[in-house]
Structure 1
Amino acid sequence: DLYGLMFTPTDLDESKKYPVVNYIYPGPQGGGVGGRYFSPSRSDHQALAELGFIVVVIDGSCNPGRSKSFHDACYGNMGDNTLEDQISGLKQLAEKHPYMDLDRVGVWGHSGGGFATADAMFSYPEFYKVGISESGNHDNRNYEDDWGERYIGLIEETENGKTNYELQANQYNAANLQGDLLIAHGNLDDNVPPYNSYLVIDALIKANKDFDLIIFPNARHGYGMDSYYMTRRRWDYFVENLMGAEHPKEFKIEMPKRR
């Protein structure tokens, strides 16, 4: 069994078809759902749903809090990214909820979720049509050794001459891109260095692929105050490219004043 969350518009009309947004964080130290507690909005998932999307978060195998075998399912292969779990889960949900339009599926994530998002767009381009990859660790040879070596192991040569790390790095599959991809990264990211995204950007350019890019010049891993801008651009990107609708120009997100 896979567990997850689904967010629908409050004015849901089950006779209509809604585009689907798959939020992903593959772990393996934690999943997209996070804590098993009540939270009415779960970041901006409900806000995105109110724009006319079905937002789905699925904790795939490899995530903790279950059995040891469940957690070990992708040990040695972080490139798994729980994508087969995500796709099978969405297909089962769509059988139960026909208002989910699986011809219009988007995906987004941050950090490990950014890594998984680009992987989804490159490995399953026929399923995922729009992706937003934020601050992804796209090649774990260029990330912390206490992450890659903990969950992948040491670098090893494979039968085809590539290392196990190369086989899990996104830039080698960038030429497979078919849909719309937005890449974002903070230029002062001291968690996932920005050259992780530059590797993918370079590969996309060499493959003559169109893509969109946002670089935050003074932002670290979480973008700080620029996160409101990123949230708005994320909403706009899905509205325009996945829904095929127009969005308000330069809508400003205002935080409510504290009493």
Structure 2
Amino acid sequence: MSHFASRPEEIPDTDQHADVPLYGRCSPTPDDFRIDTQSSVRIYTAGGGGRDVFALGSITIKSCHLHEGVGVRHTEIDYSNVDANEIRAIALARRVLADMNINGRQVLVQERIPGVGLNVARRNLSQDQRNNFKQQTRELFRRLRTTKPTDEHPARRHVVQDPDIINNGRIGQLEADILFSDSDIDTDMSFMHNDLSESNIIVDNDMVAGLVDWEMAGFFGWRTAGEVHRIIRTSQREHFAAVNLSEERLLDIMWWAHLYDLPEPHEDKSTH
């Protein structure tokens, strides 16, 4: 079996996740649940590079994907500023209007990324493959770091701040102390995923296919994110002090803990 196998029927009984074959694996099929944005649910047809509007239950989707010749006869309109304005307006409205729910429960629907979780695939990977995935992930969060907070003097924060984040159980006290302590001020605040656990790295055919679970993302410094990763997200040597494990086995368990262990990136600063 390929260690990138993702279809349930390909998973042998000896696999560590044989009892839950969909854990960490995704292989789309024609009968999967999906959002259907075909012409039958289109409620508004736009022209000249505009976006059609589709009604899907209680949500609407705006897209020009059914238009022929966009980019040839018409140039697609840039809606980035309009969308950003709409999103901010919705955020303001939510201060007054309660979020919708189903039977009193909050609901979130997300699209899965085809591939296998790194935590599922890694036991069958060679050392070269592991190193390659580590380098690819590092390159991804280096690219994320190019996004900076817009505040002139920003504090370390999640993208959407939660004033009750400790009491509601989203993070523990130790993580809060690392993220929000006044003892160390980050000078390199930037956008961080902040939960790069192996299970959140989706891989396929020796490539990182995507990152999932962005609920902890925010604007933090390199050292802060690295400390959260080492102490909170991954296993530590002291966790196995009472277990007689070889050094080789310990290093294998902790291989992902060193993701941030490289020179801190610094932006070039011009002098005048």
Q: Which TM class, normalised by the smaller chain length? A: under 0.3
TM-score by length of 2: 0.22
**Which structure is larger by alpha-carbon Rg, 1 or 2?**
2
